[in-house]
């Protein structure tokens, strides 16, 4: 790469890309491109998780007991995490080599197609065991595409942002997580209410079909993205990921740790908490309402804390959020045990708001650790490896701890707090980048 003082730096490696992506960028357009793709990913996660709990055991695994059927249904969902790191490697490489736009368009098409095919997939009554096999294959393909989705969507916000607003614009991807969870929960709750609380073999398909609307809107926005012109002065690396590992080993390891901590917390909050309050005696409808409150708070707080990270710094905001979560985990379970619906609802609002402190600045913090020539690979691989290790096991580990402690949630609180501590320590190991210009980051 040219040195910062050389004549070539009048057009730094990322400059042409930045000029291309920001020519017609606006906050609304950027959110449509970066936020909706992530919203689709988490919308699918939300509706699949609910369907796996309520109807998939009977539809795809009717020969198993209800408990074993639910376990297998959740395992089929979990296989998507296996493919995510591979997707991060392959799609991150293509994003660095051929550009952001074609990869972002491809990931959205593949993810949407898999959601549509799951919606159309006949159950075991028609296809027998083949139905479950096809379901797993579709989840693997979808997980592969998701491996490049989050990183690419984050870069649209970060690289298209005006100077001093990368944290704010990067948080659009984080807002997509809250939006997807919120929409998925609302749609599934409406269908459940219309079906009288018992989702039929047809009823569960409606939320999956509705996900197609997100795909269409997001795809239209992404197709309008300007195509980046390659930098003719710099030969792209053959394998950008290897450059990232060789030149930024500390950033790679710490970014994986940050992702591990964040995803462990996120999946405990979004999956385990919901199951825990249902087990504590709240109805399924009430539990879904709690989740709606939490997702709504997360949607707004992610934007706020992304904005705040531009002023206070990424590290200060995220470490503060991790510390607040450690305290919160020891408060949540006793409050739920009081069986006070209003107080429990307020607790879910608080957990959504506090989680936003770690989620909002996350895209900009991780993306800014790598220069443009290796950024797609760096952010995608580190995030997805951490997500596979943390998010892919969080609910299972938390449930095992609850069983191991004879129903006492103290083990879960310690586990979640340890994840928050790992997040904070790894954030501390990364460089503060909120004050750096694009040219300084690329150099």
Least confident of 87-96, 97-106, 184-193, 257-266: 184-193
| Residue 7 belongs to some domain of the structure | no
**The pLDDT of residue 378 is above 90:** yes
Distance in angstroms between the alpha carbons of the first and the last residue of the chain? 7
136, HSE (Cβ side, Cα atoms, 13 Å): 14
Tell me the C-alpha distance between 333 and 351, whole Å. Answer: 12
Q: Is residue 440 part of a domain?
A: no
Alpha-carbon Rg for the chain, nearest whole angstrom, is 21
Q: What pLDDT shows up at residue 331?
A: 93
Helix orientation angle between 341-359 and 166-194, rounded to the nearest 10 degrees: 140
Confidence of residue 253 (pLDDT cuts 50, 70, 90): very high
DSSP SS3 for 177 = helix
Give pLDDT, residue 27: 74
d(CA 181, CA 265): 15
Give the pLDDT band (50/70/90) at residue 326. Answer: very high
The string of pLDDT tens digits covering residues 4-35 is: 444 333 333 344 444 444 444 677 777 777 77
pLDDT digits (tens, 9 = 90+) for 385-397: 999 999 878 888 8
CA distance 242 to 239: 6
CA–CA gap between residue 353 and residue 75 (Å, rounded): 29
pLDDT of residue 3: 40
Band of residue 310 on the pLDDT scale cut at 50, 70, 90: very high
Query: 98, exposed or middle or buried, with CB in 10 Å at 0-12, 13-18, 19+?
Result: middle
In contact, 168 and 307? CB cutoff 8 Å:
yes
**What residue numbers bound the domain in which 363 lies?**
14-228+239-434
Q: Would 233 be classed as within a structural domain?
A: no
Q: From CA 174, how far away is CA 169, in angstroms rounded?
A: 10
Quick check: is 6 in a domain? no
In a domain, 194, yes or no: yes
The packing angle between helices 249-267 and 410-429, to 10°, is: 150
Instruction: Report yes or no: 89 and 381 within 8 Å, Cβ to Cβ.
Output: yes
Q: CA-CA distances (angstroms) from residue 222 to 29, 31, 227, 378, 404?
A: 9, 11, 10, 22, 47
Asked if residue 442 is part of any domain, the answer here is no
pLDDT above 90 covers a percentage of the chain that reads 35
Helix (H) or strand (E) holding 255: helix 249-267
Residue 222 makes CB contacts below 8 A (sequence gap 6+) with 33, 37, 101, 104, 105, 108
**Count: domains in the chain:** 1
Q: Are the beta carbons of 382 and 255 closer than 8 angstroms?
A: yes
Residue 292 maps to a domain: yes
Those residues whose C-beta lies under 8 Å from the C-beta of residue 411, and which sit 6 or more positions away, are 401, 402, 404, 405
Residues found in the chain: 443
More confident residue, 47 or 78: 47
Residue 439: inside a domain: no
Q: What are phi and psi of 425, to 5 degrees?
A: -65, -40
Q: Provide the CB-side half-sphere exposure for 430 (13 A, CA).
A: 32
Max CA separation in the chain (angstroms): 70
| CATH number of the domain bearing residue 96 | 1.20.1250.20
- Give, in order, the Cα–Cα distances in Å from 128 to each of 70, 140, 154, 194, 259: 17, 20, 40, 29, 38
């Amino acid at each position: 790469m040219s040195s910062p003082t050389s004549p070539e730096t009048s057009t730094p490696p990322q400059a042409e890309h930045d000029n291309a992506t920001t020519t017609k960028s606006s906050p609304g357009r950027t959110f449509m491109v970066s936020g909706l793709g992530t919203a689709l990913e988490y919308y699918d996660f939300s509706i699949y998780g609910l369907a796996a709990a309520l109807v998939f055991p009977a539809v795809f695994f009717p020969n198993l007991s209800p408990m074993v059927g639910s376990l297998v249904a959740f395992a089929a969902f979990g296989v998507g995490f296996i493919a995510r790191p591979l997707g991060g490697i392959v799609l991150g490489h293509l994003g660095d080599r051929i550009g952001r736009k074609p990869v972002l368009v491809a990931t959205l098409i593949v993810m949407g197609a898999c959601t549509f095919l799951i919606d159309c997939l006949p159950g075991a009554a028609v296809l027998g065991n083949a139905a479950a096999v096809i379901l797993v294959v579709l989840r693997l393909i979808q997980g592969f595409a998701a491996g490049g989705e989050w990183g690419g969507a984050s870069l649209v916000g970060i690289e298209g942002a005006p100077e001093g607003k990368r944290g704010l614009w990067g948080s659009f991807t984080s807002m997509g997580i809250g939006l997807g969870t919120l929409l998925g929960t609302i749609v599934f709750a409406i269908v459940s209410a219309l079906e009288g609380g018992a989702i039929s073999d047809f009823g569960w398909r409606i939320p999956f079909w509705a996900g197609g609307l997100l795909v269409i809107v997001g795809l239209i926005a992404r197709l309008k993205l300007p195509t980046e012109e390659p930098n003719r002065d710099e030969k792209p690396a053959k394998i950008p990921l290897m450059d990232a590992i060789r030149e930024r080993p500390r950033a790679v390891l710490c970014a994986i740790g940050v992702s591990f901590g964040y995803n462990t917390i996120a999946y405990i909050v979004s999956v385990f908490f919901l199951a825990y309050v249902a087990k504590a005696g709240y109805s399924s409808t009430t539990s879904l309402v709690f989740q709606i409150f939490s997702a709504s708070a997360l949607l707004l707080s992610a934007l706020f804390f992304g904005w705040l990270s531009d002023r206070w710094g990424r590290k200060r905001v995220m470490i503060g959020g991790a510390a607040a979560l450690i305290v919160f985990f020891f408060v949540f379970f006793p409050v739920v045990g009081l069986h006070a619906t209003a107080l429990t609802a307020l607790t879910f609002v608080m957990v959504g708001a506090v989680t936003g402190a770690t989620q909002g600045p996350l895209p900009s913090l991780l993306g800014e650790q790598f220069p443009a020539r290796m950024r797609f690979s760096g952010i995608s691989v580190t995030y997805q490896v951490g997500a596979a290790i943390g998010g892919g096991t969080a609910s299972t580990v938390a449930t095992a701890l609850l069983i191991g402690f004879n129903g006492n949630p103290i083990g879960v609180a310690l586990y979640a707090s340890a994840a928050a501590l790992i997040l904070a320590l790894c954030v501390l190991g990364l460089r503060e980048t909120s004050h750096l210009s694009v040219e300084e980051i690329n150099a």
